[in-house]
Structure 1
Amino acid sequence: MATLEELRNQLDEIDNRMAELYQMRMDVCQQVGEYKVKAGRKVYDRQREKDKLADVASKVQGEFNKKGIKELYSQVMSMSRKLQYQRLVEAGALGRLPFIQIHSLDKENARVVFQGTEGAYGQAAMNQFFGEDVNCFHVRTFRDAMEAIEEGSADFAVLPIENSSAGPVNEMYDLLDEFENYIVAETILPVVHTLSGLPGTRLSEIKRVYSKAEALMQTTRFLDDHSDWQRISVVNTAIAAKKVLEDQDKAQAAVCSTYAAKIHGLEVLVDEINDEADNSTRFIVVTNQKIFLKDASKISIEFELPHESGSLYNILSHFIYNDLNMTKIESRPVEGKQWEYRFFVDFDGNLEDAAVKNAIRGLREEARNLRILGNYSIDGQI
């Protein structure tokens, strides 16, 4: 019986041969890539790869080895494709992306829309990014805001997309898919909720609490201590404050900001009722123009994938191979396709970066309905 050292020596010899064969295979793939550049051929041939995996699996014994060699060759072919994508991009086969690079946003002359009413967190985020003197108006829903910039009645919309404690705003992801609008910046707003009511209201008088669904989620611990209060969701925290003022009913209170309470003449009954003290909301600045800032450092994309094993795993390898840092991934159901999902990914980079171009070339060929949602600056800094 061979010793462990002898067996390891055998493995080393096999690995050396495999490394040599891998190099030979990649050299041939380089030539294939050059041929495809000249012939204008696509890199990814899904059926050929399926046939290849079935063929190599037929050459080994046992289910474990069959599955293993298919996984191995999936990776080998994935690396081959990425080499060919690189050759295509170097040859200019990616083409110009339909985004125009700019040096700065025209904040002084912009007309901006936010969702909610006076005193909304959206207004605070807008003022934080565009300044207090911004030319602005407000609408009732996120959809109304997206329609406003699509039709041109506003240049930009400032809308929430994620909260640090409550998570993503799913409706915004659906609207980003539905509308041909694009993210050009983001700004992060600290969120501090209060319980506010009519002046002189006592906590014992309250029966109903109004606020946005996310705000009610973010103050669950405080509200749970008052289990007899009915929680009622409305479109916006500022709208909740406005309702309490208009109804003039001390049985009602609102979860809203101090600013909203002041705007609508309410008294802060309890301050800082957030479940988490460090609570922030990420707002995106959206426009209908395909533009990006010269020093933009973050990219958002969306795509769909075949409903089959390994499809997401293979797609994510494009970020790994190109040394791109993926910072976020979300999924949303695809309408009309049961158990199929649309993925939203944020990653670091600029559309002019070679690594980004390589990744996008591969993603376009291997994913379905790839869209670039924007290339923008974190916190709107350029």
Structure 2
Amino acid sequence: MIDLQECRNEIDKIDSDIIRLFEQRMKVCEDVAEYKIRTGKKVLDPERERQKLEVLRGKAHGEFNQLGAQELFQQIMAISRKRQYQLLTEHGIEDDEKLEMVDALPLKDVRVVFQGVEGAYSYAAMREYFQDDIESFHVKTWRDAMEAVVEGRADYAVLPIENTTAGIVADIYDLLTEYELSIVGEQIIRPEHVLLGLPDAELEDIRQVCSHPQALSQCGKYLESHPDWKKKEMENTAGSAKKIKEDNDKTQAAIASRQAGELYGLKILAENICYNGQNATRFVIVSKKPIYVKDAHKISIFFELHHESGTLYNMLSHIIYNGLNMTKIESRPITGKNWQYRFFVDFEGNLKDSAVKNALRGIEAEADRMRILGNY
């Protein structure tokens, strides 16, 4: 009859041997790192690892143990690379600086662009972030805002990137990968959606509601209570209020802010129409200058991977292993590559932190493509 305690004692002995051998292996890996530091050789050698995993898998018996051996040594090799990245940092081997640290953002005498018109939430976010006198102008689309910064017609653009109710603004994520701009700040505002109509309109007159798709989504439950109302998507919330004013049709209403209603002389027909009382929108401030302030505490990156098992875990493990707190992850499909995705990750830290350097060094070395979107 099997004695459970004897089995446990045997496992404890084997585990102790594994720890001893693991530490012995890590010591040799440190010697390998020293060689690579002297010669400039890259930490990751994919073909060498592939061949070694194939050999080690073949030494195990049975399909289950073979798969287990492969996974075990994949993790051991990943840990070894992480130690080598640490040693590179400790020896002062720096990657090229992607962003330049500054004491403070240049906010005096700047031009800022936002999508929409005065009274839009992007406008409100801009006024909240840039409290000093600035020169601002608006454009029709988010791409137009990006182009204005790239061309030097604006120093900064204010762009909505996510909402607590409707989720991410996917187009902004895609544009951030297309344009070489840096996120240098963020501003969170709480949109207070109201239903606006002409001064002589009443709720029973309404047949169509206009607004930006995000606002229509955020007020979806309220709109469902009026199933006979048609919904019309607009480029922004304030623009929908402007349309109501210009059309002078009391069967139309807009979902927008109180400020937009005041700006265009409209009447509030309904308040508190967003079902999420904590509804908030996060805006990012982007600049052509690749800079970050010295007390920045959040980093945004994106990376692309081979479509293989375990690759996402391997990337995220660099963040986890270095004790960094990941605050967000999103994925977007890569155009022209079916079923392959680009991942966007936010985590806490500053580009001068050793742990951040280690994590970014590992991700950049092992991803197909990686870029720091900003430290802010």
Both structures adopt the same fold (TM-score exceeding 0.5) = yes
> What code does the residue aligned with 2:87 have?
R
Matched residues in 2 for 1:332 and 1:66: separation? 34
Provide TM-score, normalisation by structure 2: 0.98
Matched residues in 1 for 2:266 and 2:133: separation? 25
Matched residues in 2 for 1:29 and 1:54: separation? 20
Q: Is the 8 A contact 2:116 2:238 kept in 1?
A: yes
1:88 offset after TM fit, Å? 1.6
Matched residues in 2 for 1:127 and 1:141: separation? 19
Q: How well do the aligned residues superpose, as a CA RMSD in angstroms? A: 1.1
Matches within 5 A, 1:202-241: 202-241=202-241
> What code does the residue aligned with 2:265 have?
G
Deviations 1:240-286, CA, capped at 9 Å, x for gaps: 00111111111111000101111111111101200111110001011
1:126 offset after TM fit, Å? 0.5
> What code does the residue aligned with 1:183 have?
I
Partner of 1:190: 190
Q: Is the 8 A contact 1:299 1:374 kept in 2?
A: yes
Matched residues in 2 for 1:113 and 1:261: separation? 22
1:158 offset after TM fit, Å? 0.9
**Compared CA separation, residues 132 and 352, structure 1 to 2 (3 A):** closer
Partner of 2:137: 137
Say which is worse superposed, 116-125 or 44-53, in terms of deviation.
44-53
Partner of 2:168: 168
1:208 offset after TM fit, Å? 1.0
Say which is worse superposed, 203-212 or 213-222, in terms of deviation.
203-212
Deviations 1:142-190, CA, capped at 9 Å, x for gaps: 0011111111111111110010111100000000000011100101001
SS at match of 2:335: coil
Provide TM-score, normalisation by structure 1: 0.97
Q: Is the 8 A contact 1:241 1:254 kept in 2?
A: yes
Unaligned runs of 5+ in 1: 377-382
1:343 offset after TM fit, Å? 0.6
Deviations 1:291-315, CA, capped at 9 Å, x for gaps: 0001000000011000011000111
Moved over 6 A (4+): none
Matched residues in 2 for 1:343 and 1:235: separation? 27
Matched residues in 1 for 2:292 and 2:132: separation? 24
1:93 offset after TM fit, Å? 2.6
Partner of 1:51: 51
Partner of 2:23: 23
Q: Is the 8 A contact 1:196 1:261 kept in 2?
A: yes
SS at match of 1:58: helix
Matched residues in 2 for 1:40 and 1:31: separation? 14
> What code does the residue aligned with 1:260 have?
A
Partner of 1:79: 79
Partner of 1:379: none
Deviations 1:98-152, CA, capped at 9 Å, x for gaps: 3111111222322111110010000000011112743211111100111111111
Deviations 1:188-218, CA, capped at 9 Å, x for gaps: 0011100101112111211111100010000
1:2 offset after TM fit, Å? 4.2
> What code does the residue aligned with 1:122 have?
S
Partner of 2:120: 120
Q: Is the 8 A contact 1:111 1:156 kept in 2?
A: yes
